[in-house]
Structure 1
């Protein structure tokens, strides 16, 4: 324990902006943990054999490594991964270690042999673990850093409510902000920080809304709103019909919404941004059960260039490149024999809009932070380029 705490003191003394986070970790000795690991409650599990065999400078680096998992909210971000990625928690842990270790090594910290870093897999430094995840080779492994990293409880972790002191979500978020402010003060004092830490501190102190979450939430809410409407149908008679001889009662049905996606294909739109936004829209629709012939895609500049019923983004036909008037695409969508309940417009905003509210939900996914604001009745999500 003396050696372990000496390593923490060294890490906190050399990097005082991390001191609050380091001293918020509660030590839990464990012979089951391979090296060191953390749970999401800021409890640090430590192998006595690992401490005995590791020099103090390297132990100081491991202290900072484990604190970085929690400061960067790796378990919270892992919880937002697709289910298939969450199940491959070994791979998630390796990707997270790649995100952390390049910053630590650039900061002059010592880490034990066998550490992973992006260059070992031919990956660029300075990336997020979500970007590394799909680029890693299969079956990669690293010492288990615990549920504070990949989100999956390890066998050697204590129960949620048992054991020594633990930090809740509110305290953890306050600690992240305190650490980010300490980093900003360090930079103002002409200190230096690796790029990854600077980016993290800026995000904590001046957070930006994740456009994917915002767009997903808007589409889901609109689908739930449209799907909440009910109508009567005689295709499936009511269960009360047998009680009334000679009378057939209709049952209530909850219709599945129809969606039109109007894509701005004018010359000012970039293919990469369009593909990213369209992929998010179709992914959300697929998750809520709306696909196939219930989704119509209209490519539009100053006129409607192509209309497609699609089941995958690869089937979409884009055309155009001229002026911009999304009113034409919206009008064409509403004039279809099967009127949509939801219209999603992917555009840079340099377009006129309908003069009045429409008889459906309209969501504008605006490409670029400088896109002009549409009318107030249009739900808006901004997608940075």
Structure 2
């Protein structure tokens, strides 16, 4: 049974504790035996089920509401601990419409958020391009104003929910200025003429991913999110919120790995005694427990800071994502090692976790990018205090 004592930390209010307990009960009943072979169909079903149960209501916020990052993190941690694909399905509803929640007009919010928050529509976030992964400011896809429309041309790749999404938040170059200041954000329905899924991408952990091509794809000017030239700011603001939730998902994977390891070493016999009796094994378990708690502290500090009114939590979110994802990889690796040959056997939970965790150290800002962010934030704080 995963440790729940962290819910008593001062980061949380009673409503967060109630949310975590209710979701734990629901997940235990509904997330056993998810089919990971047909990811498209499984994701569609998961979004619908999460919506029907009310969980995707937390993925967005309408006019006058705010996103509660602690709730987002608790949901992602709990879902990830039960099933990685369930976490993915929930997470993309938030990331895909985060810009609409934060910057959308009333019409944009009323058109899309009731659908995505109820699980009736699937969302995607179209940011990455073939030549500009972490370097968002180098995006080359264009959006050219033509009368009452914008005409989109270019490609996006590694787009989560690509191929099954009903709507994408898209970042494209509108050219107000060079670099980051010349990007804008758009709400793009997936059924527009000129939007084509040209490649489905297969990875070590099953997720619906695709490369998208836009060829003279027209969107009305009212599809613009925020102001022209504000796309980079919008994208970074969305990541500022949701980067902490990636840390929470990694934390959920790590907690599950620790539970699986504790079960293994308490039941596996070596020379007539439990594997746990070996001092080296106890050392591994101690390191895993330490990493889990440290990751939880960093994750929920970042979420609490955002919910407490911080305009930006770039430093806190980067620290949480870097530490939680990197250390979750280590925790899971130790769990695999403690399982011996069974640890790399297909169908074992720790083998699944080993595949699930790796992408989290890359998407929404790779680990080395987070180090750059943290270093720059530290230097800026130092210079500002001089």
Higher helix share: 2
* Higher RCO, Cα 8 Å, sep 6+: 2
Q: Which structure's CA Rg is the greater one?
A: 1
Q: TM-score, normalised by structure 2?
A: 0.28
Q: TM-score, normalised by structure 1?
A: 0.28
